[in-house]
């Protein structure tokens, strides 16, 4: 993470629209579909509980044409942010940042709504 910004500022608002995001643990089996058109490092995945959403393909090892095993834990919860919010960067995958607010809430935001603070 040395080349990632440690802190970013939201340059525009982002509102999550998925109240039940895909989640999985290392070793879980997932169903896998197509890649996203905009965020090409993401693939449509369905977890063992039937939740579906975009998953970084680097987090998966394909085991069949439409099946994969999780290489690490993942929770696709997005973070709702307002313009000007300061966020600590925890991780990055495929152009999205896993961030934490000053109040301790964590979630993913697209890289195009933030800039280094």
Q: What is the pLDDT of residues 37-76, one digit of tens each?
A: 999 999 999 999 999 999 999 999 999 999 999 999 999 9
31 and 66 part of one domain: yes
pLDDT band for position 2 (50/70/90)?
low
| Token couple for 106 | 């964590």
pLDDT band for position 93 (50/70/90)?
very high
| Token couple for 42 | 């993401």
82 and 69 part of one domain: no
Number of residues in the chain? 117
Its domain, for residue 53, covers 23-75
- Whether 111 contacts 98, CB under 8 Å: no
31 and 69 part of one domain: yes
C-alpha to C-alpha distance for 108 and 55, rounded to whole angstroms: 11
Is 50 exceeded by the pLDDT of residue 1?
no
Mean pLDDT score of the chain, rounded to an integer? 95
Q: Is residue 13 situated within a structural domain?
A: yes
Q: Is residue 2 situated within a structural domain?
A: no
Q: Is residue 1 situated within a structural domain?
A: no
3-state secondary structure of 25: coil
Burial class (CB in 10 A: 0-12, 13-18, 19+), 33: exposed
Give the pLDDT confidence score for residue 17 in this predicted structure. 86
Is 60 exceeded by the pLDDT of residue 102?
yes
Number of domains in the chain: 2
């Amino acid at each position: 993470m040395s080349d990632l910004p440690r802190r970013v500022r939201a340059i525009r608002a982002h509102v999550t629209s998925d109240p039940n995001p895909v989640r999985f643990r290392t070793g879980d089996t997932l169903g896998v579909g197509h890649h996203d058109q905009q965020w090409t490092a993401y693939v449509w995945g369905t977890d063992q509980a039937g939740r579906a959403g975009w998953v970084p393909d680097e987090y998966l090892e394909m085991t069949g044409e439409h099946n994969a095993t999780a290489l690490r834990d993942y929770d696709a919860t997005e973070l709702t942010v307002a313009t000007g919010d300061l966020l600590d960067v925890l991780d990055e995958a495929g152009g999205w940042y896993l961030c934490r607010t000053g109040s301790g809430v964590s979630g993913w935001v697209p890289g195009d709504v933030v800039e280094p603070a």
